[in-house]
């Protein structure tokens, strides 16, 4: 192993152990994920065939990428050797390749964590090497549709947190922090940290087989003390660590908190809620968010996702009105809008009408029709696949459509409006294309009198451009209430605050959102997607370590970040967490909020381990159990 790599004293998890989740994941989940990418790209390419301008080069290039993806899936299933990652001009693949050259691993005998990170970096190279697909995030459509479907859980949380934030701000301005019960705030910290913890329970890479309805059920529970108390038994370490973390935050004014993000969508929202409330207490003046610089483990937050999320939450129609207002009835959102943002999810009941299969044309047929100057949309195709109730779910693939289950009528209708079907369907990573996605919604919003998305083009702050606590109170706008109309929802009002936080440098995205996907990034932020475990931070990314040391508390979200903190090694579960962190432990105050979805664990008592083994044989991996761990700074 290279000298910047720490070797734990126990072996690493790997798919060589057929009883392990590592094996199941390598044998079953990764091929499924690759199949999903192939299908997303098929759909995207098919949508392009309806474009006004010729997209044949781009479509042809998609076919080449699909071939490479299929070969990769084939090689993985046959346990071939891991090939070097081509030099694609992006964040250096050399780290991966050096290790591979030395170790000569195959898909199944490589350490699981290495192979999984390699998989996402390799996938990135397929798109990065292309001419037309460099900004394409193959998981964006999935991320977006899952996010949209979590509207009611988000509304519940936003309503409660809006109140908490107002109360905290009022307490601060009516006599300062001393006037507020420290215990009260500690309790709220518990609630919001646990909401952020359970926000991690659902992620797209794990839940390949769950429906959106299942995910919604998992997300429900809200912030009520009862709901949380009920869930507390699933936190295997107990929650004392949250007291230690809060004591550390409380000991300071004008502190900085960092969050190493995990999943986009619902989980990111719970992180933002926690971050906003921390600012409102006055103990924290800046929260720095660390995303991943490329599509990663399906649903991890990319810089573009971070920006998109704030934009999306400001849209009156992003979530269905029923979700946004908390009412359980009355869905006035247009079916086309739902389809536009997440075309792959139409109702299970939204089956293609009889005979509509014949209307799903091949790309050649469409090209032919175009050449003849005919519309690519056969007469009578309108509305053949839409569900009359606009419900969402998996769309059945019509026979002979190669899985390209699209409704031509959608594109016909979209064309007559202002939205480019290709842009709206092929959601890519650029912020502008996301705004385009909402052009149509804004039109509708202005017709309905609702406030529209504010795509004001303001850029998000990066670490280099923002400083903690530099702005005066007026500019910080803590108690400023945005005026976004009387019909705004709690979600929209919070998002408006968050944009103000971004503009004032209180919220900082550590990678500038306009950074091209996969590019080398400043400040060592590319480290998160490198082959390294986090134990190597001091040696492999000293610049990043120096930055994190400025923070009062660094919160690591989710399972993958925890696997990386623990080097994905076969620690006995009762190993003290700090020991399993290796050389990273003690460099900064660390709080881990993780639901368990992989074999590795540490920080449990032997009694707890025994207890949970008896309760649930799948406790390590089914996402139902969690650990919350604080590691104090000592260095
Ligand atoms: O989103 P999270 O919490 O990091 O979970 C991702 C984890 O899920 C899995 O994809 C499945 O367990 C792991 O490979 C990975 O560690």
Query: pLDDT tens across 209-253, in order?
Result: 444 554 454 455 555 666 667 778 899 999 999 999 999 999 978
- Burial classification of residue 311, based on how many CB atoms lie within 10 Å of its CB (0-12 exposed, 13-18 middle, 19 or more buried): buried
Q: What is the DSSP letter of 26?
A: I
Tell me, rounded to whole angstroms, the distance of Cα 258 from its chain centroid: 17
Residues 121 and 176 in one domain: no
* CA–CA distance, 516 with 493 (Å, rounded to integer): 30
Residues 174 and 124 in one domain: no
- Burial classification of residue 409, based on how many CB atoms lie within 10 Å of its CB (0-12 exposed, 13-18 middle, 19 or more buried): buried
Give the E-state strand segments of 312-372 in sequence order. Answer: none
| Token code pair at residue 78 | 């046959």
* CA–CA distance, 294 with 519 (Å, rounded to integer): 8
Residues 40 and 130 in one domain: yes
Q: Which of 85, 212, 78 is nearest to 150 (CA)?
A: 212
Q: Which atom of ligand 1 is nearest to the CA of 595?
A: 3
Query: Pick from 136, 168, 197: which residue ends a domain?
Result: 136
Q: What is the DSSP letter of 569?
A: B
Contact 581, 535 (CB under 8 A): yes
> Would you say residue 330 lies in a domain?
no
Residues 74 and 163 in one domain: no
> Would you say residue 466 lies in a domain?
no
Residues 121 and 158 in one domain: no
Which residue numbers in the chain have pLDDT < 50?
A: 178-179, 203-211, 214-215, 217-218, 323-366, 369, 374-483
206 lines ligand 1 (CB under 6 A): yes
| Token code pair at residue 497 | 């605050």
Count how many Cα atoms sit within 13 Å of the Cα of residue 385 in the half-sphere of its side chain.
27
> Would you say residue 222 lies in a domain?
yes
Pocket test for ligand 1, best of 143, 202, 203, 534 (most atoms within 8 A of CB): 203
490 lines ligand 1 (CB under 6 A): no
* Structural domain of 96: 21-136
Q: Give the residue, by CA position, lying nearest to ligand 1 atom 9.
A: 206
The confidence score (pLDDT) of residue 153 equals 77
Count CB-CB contacts under 10 A for residue 247.
13
* CA–CA distance, 395 with 430 (Å, rounded to integer): 27
The CATH number linked to 520 is 3.40.50.10880
Residues 208 and 293 in one domain: yes
Query: Pick from 136, 171, 186: which residue ends a domain?
Result: 136
- Could you tell me the distance, in angstroms and rounded to a whole number, from the CA of residue 47 to the centre of ligand 1? 31
What pTM was estimated for this model as a whole? 0.77
The confidence score (pLDDT) of residue 167 equals 80
- Residue 284, phi then psi, degrees to nearest 5: -120, 130
pLDDT tens, position by position, 283-310:
999 999 999 999 999 999 999 999 999 9
| Number of separate domains in the chain | 2
* CA–CA distance, 213 with 208 (Å, rounded to integer): 13
559 lines ligand 1 (CB under 6 A): yes
Beta bridge partners of 631: 590
- Could you tell me the distance, in angstroms and rounded to a whole number, from the CA of residue 24 to the centre of ligand 1? 13
* CA–CA distance, 316 with 325 (Å, rounded to integer): 10
Residues 116 and 157 in one domain: no
Helix (H, G, I), strand (E, B) or coil at 138: coil
Q: Which of 94, 86, 140, 111 is nearest to 296 (CA)?
A: 140
The confidence score (pLDDT) of residue 156 equals 77
* CA–CA distance, 96 with 122 (Å, rounded to integer): 10
* CA–CA distance, 338 with 403 (Å, rounded to integer): 19
Contact 81, 115 (CB under 8 A): no
């509207």: which residue's tokens? 151
Pocket test for ligand 1, best of 297, 594, 627 (most atoms within 8 A of CB): 297
Q: Which atom of ligand 1 is nearest to the CA of 200?
A: 3
> Would you say residue 114 lies in a domain?
yes
Count CB-CB contacts under 10 A for residue 484.
18
The confidence score (pLDDT) of residue 500 equals 97
Q: Which atom of ligand 1 is nearest to the CA of 116?
A: 14
Residues 170 and 103 in one domain: no
Count how many Cα atoms sit within 13 Å of the Cα of residue 462 in the half-sphere of its side chain.
13
Residues 175 and 313 in one domain: yes
The CATH number linked to 34 is 1.20.930.60
Query: Pick from 84, 108, 136: which residue ends a domain?
Result: 136
The confidence score (pLDDT) of residue 470 equals 37
> Would you say residue 452 lies in a domain?
no
Query: Which sign does the torsion angle of CA 299, 303, 307, 308 carry?
Result: negative
- Residue 524, phi then psi, degrees to nearest 5: 75, 10
Residues 69 and 170 in one domain: no
| Token code pair at residue 393 | 């779910």
Residues 211 and 112 in one domain: no
> Would you say residue 482 lies in a domain?
no
What strand order describes the sheet that includes 507-509?
Answer: 507-509, 284-290, 255-260, 553-557, 590-595, 626-631
* CA–CA distance, 130 with 86 (Å, rounded to integer): 12
Residues 189 and 308 in one domain: yes
Pocket test for ligand 1, best of 206, 262, 291, 299 (most atoms within 8 A of CB): 206
Polymer length of the chain: 635
């Amino acid at each position: 192993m290279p000298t910047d790599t720490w070797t734990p004293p126990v072996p690493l998890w790997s798919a060589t152990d057929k009883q392990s989740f590592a094996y199941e994941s390598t044998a079953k989940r990764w091929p499924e994920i690759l199949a999903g990418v192939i299908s997303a790209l098929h759909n995207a390419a098919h949508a392009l065939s309806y474009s006004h301008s010729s997209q044949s080069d781009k479509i042809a290039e998609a076919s080449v990428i699909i071939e490479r993806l299929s070969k990769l899936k084939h090689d993985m299933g046959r346990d071939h050797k891991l090939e070097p990652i081509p030099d694609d001009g992006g964040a250096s693949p050399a780290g991966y390749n050096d290790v591979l050259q030395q170790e000569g691993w195959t898909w199944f005998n490589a350490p699981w964590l290495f192979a999984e990170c390699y998989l996402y970096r390799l996938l990135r190279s397929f798109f990065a090497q292309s001419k037309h697909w460099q900004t394409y995030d193959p998981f964006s459509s999935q991320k977006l549709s899952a996010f949209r479907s979590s509207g009611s859980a988000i509304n519940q949380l936003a309503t409660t947190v809006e109140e908490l934030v107002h109360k905290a701000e009022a307490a601060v301005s009516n006599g300062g922090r001393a006037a507020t019960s420290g215990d009260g705030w500690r309790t709220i910290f518990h609630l919001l940290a646990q909401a952020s913890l359970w926000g991690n329970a659902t992620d797209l890479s794990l839940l390949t087989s769950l429906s959106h309805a299942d995910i919604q059920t998992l997300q429900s529970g809200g912030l009520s003390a009862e709901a949380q108390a009920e869930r507390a038994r699933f936190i295997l370490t107990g929650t004392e660590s949250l007291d230690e973390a809060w004591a550390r935050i409380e000991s300071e004014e004008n502190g900085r908190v960092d969050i190493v993000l995990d999943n986009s969508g619902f989980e990111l929202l719970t992180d933002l809620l926690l971050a906003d409330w921390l600012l409102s207490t006055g103990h924290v003046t800046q929260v720095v968010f660390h995303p991943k610089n490329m599509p990663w483990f399906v649903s991890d937050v990319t810089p573009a996702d971070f920006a998109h999320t704030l934009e999306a939450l400001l849209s009156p129609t992003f979530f269905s009105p029923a979700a946004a207002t908390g009412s359980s009835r009355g869905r006035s959102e247009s079916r086309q809008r739902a389809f536009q943002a997440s075309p792959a999810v139409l109702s299970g009941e939204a089956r293609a009408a009889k005979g509509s299969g014949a209307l799903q044309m091949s790309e050649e047929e469409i090209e032919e029709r175009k050449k003849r100057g005919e519309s690519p949309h056969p007469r009578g195709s309108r509305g053949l696949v839409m569900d009359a109730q606009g419900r969402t779910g998996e769309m059945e693939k019509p026979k002979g459509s190669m899985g390209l289950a699209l409704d031509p009528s959608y594109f016909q209708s979209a064309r007559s409006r202002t939205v480019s079907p290709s842009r709206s369907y092929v959601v890519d990573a650029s912020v502008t294309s996301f705004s385009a996605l909402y052009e149509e919604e804004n039109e509708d919003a202005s017709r309905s009198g609702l406030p529209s998305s504010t795509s004001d083009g303001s850029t998000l702050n990066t670490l280099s451009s923002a400083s903690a606590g530099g702005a005066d109170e007026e500019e910080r706008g803590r108690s400023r209430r945005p005026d976004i109309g009387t019909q705004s929802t709690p979600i929209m009002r919070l998002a408006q605050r968050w944009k103000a936080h971004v503009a004032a440098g209180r919220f900082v995205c550590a990678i500038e959102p306009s950074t091209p996907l996969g590019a080398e990034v400043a400040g060592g932020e590319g480290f998160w997607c490198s082959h390294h475990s986090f134990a190597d931070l001091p040696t492999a990314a000293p610049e990043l370590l120096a930055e994190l040391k400025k923070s009062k508390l660094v919160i690591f979200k989710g399972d993958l970040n925890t696997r990386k903190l623990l080097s994905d090694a076969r620690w006995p579960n009762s190993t003290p967490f700090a020991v399993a962190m290796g050389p990273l432990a003690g460099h900064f105050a660390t709080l881990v909020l993780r639901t368990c979805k992989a074999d590795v664990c540490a920080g449990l008592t032997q009694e707890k381990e025994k207890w949970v083994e008896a309760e649930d044989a799948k406790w390590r991996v089914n996402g139902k159990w969690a650990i919350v761990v604080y590691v104090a700074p000592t260095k």
